[in-house]
Structure 1
């Protein structure tokens, strides 16, 4: 059985994006990018909301990768090798391989996907992750806390929902980013 892992770059004040929708403050350096590569290697299926999928699908295209560092090109290969499920009521087709569209988030379908999976799953996008948290589907949170406060924007964790967490791991990177990994406790 796979675990469902919510993974995100987060500002120190708890946001995925600033008030303008920008997240340029979270662009990883090589060390952090290598961390994300190692994390993503364990993921067999990624679950996305429409907007996160549209952000991530850039990894399908080779055109911009030629002059990028090896760690970036490696991430593209890892991303392409995983299965993807996009939850969207507006998308009718996808532009990436190994990708399915579901027109709504189905908690029972995600439970079955977890039960049948030999590897872990990830969930990305604040809205879809909030739904998974509300239905008790998220097993772990992997957060990279970036050394910036953006003052507002899209919250990384769902509002109005108490989450009891147990620290599993932590690490500090040379650029000041701090990794924390928590189990989501059912109590």
Structure 2
């Protein structure tokens, strides 16, 4: 599902996340425990991630994700968690942070600021797709016209306030490419970003 087709010249930049029905990735207290996937959703998300060669993160999300390499108990929670951890460790990571001195995981480099042109170049030269994580970093990429797809797992939850999946005042057209429902009430939606 991720690798570019034979005629494609660029890797895709994909923004993928879990969000509440009202569009938040975390509530106003920073809690996102309501978005924890069950085994079927986790296995499906693993398949999506497997095709990505590089993950782009802001500092906060990167620091949360490092547990997939540094905490063996996390990967030991289920076969799906172990599979996710192995795939995540195998991917390259680029972290955008002015504060982070050095990475704590392998295959990781730090960039001091997010700028569009190096990401455009990476899309041209990458052999596999890129995933961008974190609402603030994704907002910069969306506004720069870099994001090719938005993928969201909509959770059966309304949280009322918090950190939004999409930034305010962003206007762009989306084409629905895929949808899938799960028994736990989550719905996966995959959109191509077509512009304003």
Q: TM-score range by the shorter chain?
A: over 0.9
- Aligned pairs for 1:22-171 within 5 A: 22-65=31-74, 67-171=76-180
Equivalenced residue count is: 187
Q: Which runs of 5+ in 2 are unaligned?
A: 1-9
CA positional deviation for 1:163? 1.8
Say if 1:65 and 1:20 are closer, same or farther in 2 by CA, change over 3 A: closer
CA positional deviation for 1:55? 1.0
Are 1:177 and 2:178 counterparts?
no
The SS at the match of 2:54 is strand
The SS at the match of 2:160 is coil
CA positional deviation for 1:186? 2.5
CA positional deviation for 1:56? 0.7
Q: Distance in 1 between matches of 2:23 and 2:100?
A: 29
Q: With structure 2 as the length reference, what TM-score do the two structures score?
A: 0.93
Are 1:2 and 2:2 counterparts?
no
The SS at the match of 1:64 is helix
Q: After TM superposition, where is structure 1 displaced by more than 4 Å over at least 4 residues in a row?
A: none
RMSD: 1.0
Partner of 1:186: 195
Q: With structure 1 as the length reference, what TM-score do the two structures score?
A: 0.98
